[in-house]
Structure 1
Amino acid sequence: MTQRTGAAALARRVATGATAVLAAGTLLTGCTGKDGESAAPSPSPDPKTTLLAAVPDEKDPAFRFTGIDATGTVTGAVDPAGKGWELVQKDAKAGFTTTTSRRVIDQRFWMKVDFSDAGELSDLLKLPEGWMEFDQSKLEEPEVYQGADVGNTAVIIRAADAVRQQADGSYTGTVDLTGGPEVADAVDGVDVAVLADTAKAIPFTAVIGPDGNLASLTLDIPAAGQQKALEYVVKYHDFGTVPGIAAPTGADVEAAPASAYELLNG
């Protein structure tokens, strides 16, 4: 996923602040939006506008997210009020499991790497086992809080066409991944050039939860060339039940060593 979170990219914020409708298929006829304000009556709300209004924004409480793309699965939490996010990515391709945890609060960034069943790699790479805090000025791609929509859903929805609400309350349409570099970057790990003309109409399905927030967005990326078919999935859930993101403290935190900067800067 992309919003430049290094190896596990996840976060770019381009959301709108309109009022959302409930996913149960009800129209904006006196219902309450996700911000708790009464929505203006409308006989036929635009489905694309409705989806954009449901994208998480800075007025939302802390929530969890799950992202699945060509690079694997990422889980985490976002705290809009505290300008923080945390994500965890596991990679088992190397014969052992590497768990990378990243935490950002505004302009501060920490990372922790755990090599399950291969602890000697920490010594080999000269990495501490606890949290490492980084000097952002030394990173080629600084890790900073950029907004609540860590899965780039607003960028994707803005590039959507033929958006329709289905009988079950879900929304469908197609997305033009050739609509600019921002759109192509939103789907990390997908070679848009290989998709050729197919990239101009990638099918998607989106669901708005009962709370008026975007619950899921799924892009069905077809196989092309050496690129396998895959689903790009973003899920936002547990709004208001997640504690705020706090800075790591105590003896478990130390300044990142030079080897950690080399790892991130490639």
Structure 2
Amino acid sequence: MTNGTGRTGTIRRTVSTLVGVIAATTLLAGCGPDGSGTAADGGRPSPTPTPKEKLLAAVPDGTEGAFRFTGKDSSSDISGVVDPGAKGLDLTAAYKDPEHGFTTRMSFLVMQERLWLKVKFTGTEGLTGLPKLPNRWMELDRTKLTDGESAPTYEGADVGNAGPIIEAATSVEAKDGQTYTGVVDLTKGEAGKAVGEEEVGALGAAAGQVPFTAVVGADGNLATLTLAIPAAGKAKAWTYLVKYADYGSAPKLAVPTGSAAQKAPKVAYDMLNG
């Protein structure tokens, strides 16, 4: 396929997908397991913590320093750095267009209330009609975004929403000092929003019995949380993965300056606003 034109609709669908992916990732972050900012039991741990309480205590709460994040759901992958001290996020998602074959890689940088965007297209040989964007961080004015509420914001350290998912666990067993297994009821609390309401709804009764495995690192912090989502109807089985790594040693985030950044041009808003 060569000399393609009229990519505007494709780009808008791609951008909408990627913004939705990143927005969903930060949807519930910063809340306690019950969404209130505190533990579900009012913050008073049991005299002898249960496996579930121990696992919840391992979820990042912002005191661990900057760390790396990787997430995976039914259709996308996302990665980046979380810097609680700076109230910052650097999150990147990529999407390959199934029809035209090119890949859009979109990154958002959040520093408190400020927001930057970087976009890169690859595999575009022979294609025309793609927006021409600078290869640097473009600072966005949220008031110029049609759907500003979908733009990423810093809401807390647990960007993978591990806390709400673990809180919905109906059973948790400690295999050893670092590995936990159990079952999650994705219809409970905020777990369905964390994983994806449409995907959870498609599971039917199976949504109440989703197996998980979690690993806590030697430092006491959550390393991975994996949900084995079963097949349902025409949908294949898939994996929901949250991975946190390099606590305290990941690079701290900073506001981009000089030639590394500029104000977002009109074409960037046109792309985001569709």
Structure 1 length normalisation: TM-score?
A: 0.81
CA shift digits 1:35-66 (9 cap, x unpaired): xxxxx996x42111111111111211111111
User: Match of 2:154, as an amino acid?
Assistant: Y
Q: What's 1:215 paired with? A: 223
Q: Does the Cα contact within 8 Å between 1:70 and 1:189 map onto a contact in 2?
A: no
Of stretches 246-255 and 185-194 in structure 1, the one that deviates more from structure 2 is: 185-194
Query: Is the partner of 2:156 in helix, strand or coil?
Result: coil
The answer on whether the counterparts of 1:152 and 1:186 sit within 8 Å (CA) in structure 2 is: yes
Shift of 1:100: 1.3
Report the counterpart of residue 37 of structure 1 in structure 2: none
Letter in 1 for 2:209: A
Match of 1:146 in 2: 155
Kept after mapping to 1: 8 A contact 2:178/2:217:
no
CA separation in 2, counterparts of 1:119 and 1:102?
25
Question: Of Structure 1 and Structure 2, which has the larger fraction of its residues in helix?
Answer: 2
The alpha carbon displacement at 1:101 in A equals 1.4
For 1:111-190, list aligned pairs within 5 A: 111-118=117-124, 124-139=130-145, 140=147, 141-167=150-176, 169-180=178-189, 182-188=190-196
- How far apart are the structure 1 equivalents of 2:115 and 2:127? 22
Query: What corresponds to 2:15 in structure 1?
Result: none
Q: What letter corresponds to residue 176 of structure 1 in structure 2?
A: D
Q: Is the 8 A contact 1:178 1:200 kept in 2?
A: yes
Residue 114 (structure 2) pairs with residue 97 (structure 1): no
Post-superposition CA distance 1:195-232 (Å, at most 9, x none) = 00100111111111000000000001011122221110
For residues 5 and 56 of structure 1, what CA distance do their matches in structure 2 show? 24
> More deviation in 182-191 or 129-138?
182-191
Q: Is the 8 A contact 2:184 2:208 kept in 1?
A: yes
Give the drift of 1:123.
6.8
Task: Give the letter aligned to residue 224 of structure 1.
Answer: A
Percentage identity across paired residues of the two chains: 47
The answer as to 2:30 corresponding to 1:13 is yes
Instruction: Give the Cα separation in 2 of the matches to 1:263 and 1:188.
Output: 25
Structure 2 matches for 1:1-266, cutoff 5 A?
6-8=20-22, 9-11=24-26, 12-15=29-32, 44-94=48-98, 95-118=101-124, 124-139=130-145, 140=147, 141-167=150-176, 169-180=178-189, 182-188=190-196, 191-266=199-274
Taking only aligned residues, the RMSD between alpha carbons, in angstroms, comes to 2.6
TM-score by length of 2: 0.78
Residues 1:6 and 1:212: Cα distance change in structure 2 (over 3 Å): same
CA distance in 1 between partners of 2:225 and 2:236 (Å): 20
Structure 2 regions of 5+ residues with no counterpart?
Answer: 1-17, 39-44
- 1:120–1:10 Cα change, 3 Å: farther
**Secondary structure of 2:164's match?**
helix
Structure 2 counterpart SS, 1:124: coil
Answer whether contact 1:99 1:114 (CA < 8 A) is retained. yes
How many Å apart are 1:183 and its aligned residue?
A: 2.0
Instruction: Describe the superposition over 1:8-44 as per-residue Cα deviations: whole angstroms up to 9, x where unpaired.
Output: 33222224799xxxxxxxxxxxxxxxxxxxxx996x4
Aligned partners of 1:115 and 1:122 also within 8 Å: no
Letter in 1 for 2:31: V
Give the Cα–Cα distance (whole angstroms) in 2 for the partners of residues 189 and 228 of structure 1. 16
Q: Give the number of equivalent residue pairs.
A: 240
